[in-house]
A and B are shown apart, each in its own frame.
Chain A
Amino acid sequence: DVKVTQSSRYLVKRTGEKVFLECVQDMDHENMFWYRQDPGLGLRLIYFSYDVKMKEKGDIPEGYSVSREKKERFSLILESASTNQTSMYLCASRSLDAEAFFGQGTRLTVV
C-alpha cells in the first residue's frame, strides 16, 4: 500500500512563527503536492513538485514556500504564520499517469 505521511495531525502556532509541515511518501513518486482545504473553497493548490529540487507555484502560493531536497520528502514552509493561514493542509503524491494518494492532513491553527 502507498503511504503518504504528514508529520502532524494537529498544530497550533502563534502569529509570526515560522512553521514547517512535512510530508513523506514511500512509493518513489515523482509528483508531490500541497493543498489547503477550507469550507466552501475546496482544495486549493499551494505548490507542487515534479522532481527533486523542482517546484511550481500553484493557485495560492503567497505566504508559502516549499522544499524538496529528497524525492520522498516535500516540505511546506510558512515563513511568518498569519491567522488567515489557519486551515487543513493536505499533501499528496503520485507517479506519472496514475492517481494521487493523500496524507491524513494537518489541521493548523494560527493564534
Chain B
Amino acid sequence: RKEVEQDPGPFNVPEGATVAFNCTYSNSASQSFFWYRQDCRKEPKLLMSVYSSGNEDGRFTAQLNRASQYISLLIRDSKLSDSATYLCVGITGTASKLTFGTGTRLQVTL
C-alpha cells in the first residue's frame, strides 16, 4: 500500500463549482501535511499547509483528520485558472521524509 494515496481524477467541473479532494495516508506517525499545486510542465508549488484545526485561504480550505488518516482540500467558486494537478504531501520520521501522493488532476471548464 502506498504511503499517501489520492484519486488521480481527472475531476472535470464547471466554473463556479465547489470541488473536494481527499488524500489518505498509511503512516500514523506522519507529522505534517501540505497541499501543492503543479501546472503542466512546471515544478510543484506550495498551495497551503494543513493543520488539525483546519485552515482557510480565500477559496481554499484544508482539513486534517488524524483519526481517519486523511486530509482534504476544498475549492469553492472554481476558476479556470485552478486547472492543475493537486498533490498532497506527508512528512514522516526524524529525517523528515517527504512523501507525495500521485496527484489529482482538476480541469475547470466554462
Contacts and interface: CB of A to CB of B under 8 A. Distances in A.
Given A48-B95, A50-B95, A43 B100 contact: yes
A40 B98 CA distance: 19
Interface size grouping (class) on chain B: 20 to 34
Tell me whether chain B's interface is mostly helix, strand or loop, or mixed: strand
Tell me the interface secondary structure of chain A in the complex.
strand
B87 A43 contact: yes
B44 interface: yes
B1 interface: no
A96 B96 contact: yes
Interface of B: 8, 32, 34, 42-46, 49, 87, 89, 95-103
Interface of A: 31, 33, 35, 40-43, 45, 48, 50, 56, 58-59, 90, 92, 94, 96-97, 99-105
